[in-house]
Structure 1
């Protein structure tokens, strides 16, 4: 694969990820992880190493992208600051635990777990009723701390921001209006990604077969290419999110999750479908 093609794919992926992050309150790892994984294995990297590099670099890109998106949502009053901080505190700890386990788990198992997680979140949103939620949600601090840890754990384990878990939780279980669920999820992702990044750097310090210019499992070349386009596009996604009605946002989010789940679980490959 030529270097120019490699960089162009990363730049395009970063742009799409940034837009999805701002629009749906997700980190975009579900896009970055498979793209990086296939690029690295095409260049000859060991699959297990390639997947961990994809996870770590994905989280490194998610951090500044989430910062950009959260600022945009906050300016529009869609970030509930206190819940975001409580979720984020245990989300950071959960990210450390998740990344630590992921560093020693086979790639096939992680992909299947991610698929089940995404599919479950999608079905939960589709099957639940969507009452209009206009009042400020009232939840205990303990509930925010618990769900923050769960979201952070999934973030570190699977190289995602945690939005695929956090947006449905905030909207359906904790009764956040969908726009505030997306905005608060984006802020939570900042904390969750930090824990995973730190862990992947330390666990990857002595790893072999890493791409050039890597810090632990974080590939600096891939980070620069992906983040260079994802950060500005996150602001574009934020503007789009606040122009779409609540119901359309929910269905769009659920449709994306179903596709992600089937892709990661290998369903399309089993059926010989070019998707």
Structure 2
């Protein structure tokens, strides 16, 4: 029941403030000890992917069309995601991932508060 409540809260909060839910989901998974760093990264990546696809589908139903540049953005983002998944799951140790996640969270907080 707690997971259902947290999922609804994360969805509401991320929609309300306009940031991806993965940045909220990951620390919760770690704090509640429901996942380790690598599991949290994988779950958050899937969460962000699904949210991004639904957001894109919503935009396309409103008549937004892709420009040629947008296709390149998708290709580069997908390649970056594959590279990050490889390094996060195989190459980097848990300690490295902790620092990477901490940096990303600090950047998100800074952007949310000051930009």
Give the TM-score category using the shorter length. Answer: 0.7 to 0.9
Paired residue total: 113
Q: 1:140-179 residue pairs with structure 2 within 5 A? A: 142-179=1-38
2-side partners of 1:147 and 1:265: how far apart?
23
User: Offset of 1:175 from its aligned partner?
Assistant: 2.6
Q: CA RMSD in A?
A: 2.6
Query: Aligned pair in 2 of structure 1 residues 176, 250: CA closer, same or farther (>3 Å)?
Result: same
2-side partners of 1:192 and 1:174: how far apart?
23
**Partner in structure 1 of residue 95 of structure 2:** 247
DSSP 3-state at the match of 1:220: coil
Tell me if the contact between 2:23 and 2:44 (Cα under 8 Å) persists in the aligned partners: no
User: Offset of 1:264 from its aligned partner?
Assistant: 3.9
Gaps of 5+ in 2: none
Tell me if the contact between 2:14 and 2:21 (Cα under 8 Å) persists in the aligned partners: yes
Q: Greater relative contact order: 1 or 2 (C-alpha under 8 angstroms, separation 6 or more)? A: 1
**Partner in structure 1 of residue 85 of structure 2:** 238
DSSP 3-state at the match of 2:35: coil
User: Offset of 1:201 from its aligned partner?
Assistant: 5.1
Query: Aligned pair in 2 of structure 1 residues 195, 154: CA closer, same or farther (>3 Å)?
Result: farther
Tell me if the contact between 2:26 and 2:44 (Cα under 8 Å) persists in the aligned partners: yes
TM-score, normalization: structure 1?
0.35
2-side partners of 1:238 and 1:247: how far apart?
16
Q: Which of these two proteins has the greater Rg computed from alpha carbons?
A: 1
2-side partners of 1:265 and 1:154: how far apart?
15
Matching residue within 53, 58, 66 for 1:220: 66
Residue 193 of structure 1 pairs with residue 39 of structure 2: no
Tell me if the contact between 1:151 and 1:165 (Cα under 8 Å) persists in the aligned partners: yes
Query: Aligned pair in 2 of structure 1 residues 230, 251: CA closer, same or farther (>3 Å)?
Result: same
Query: Aligned pair in 2 of structure 1 residues 228, 265: CA closer, same or farther (>3 Å)?
Result: same
TM-score, normalization: structure 2?
0.74
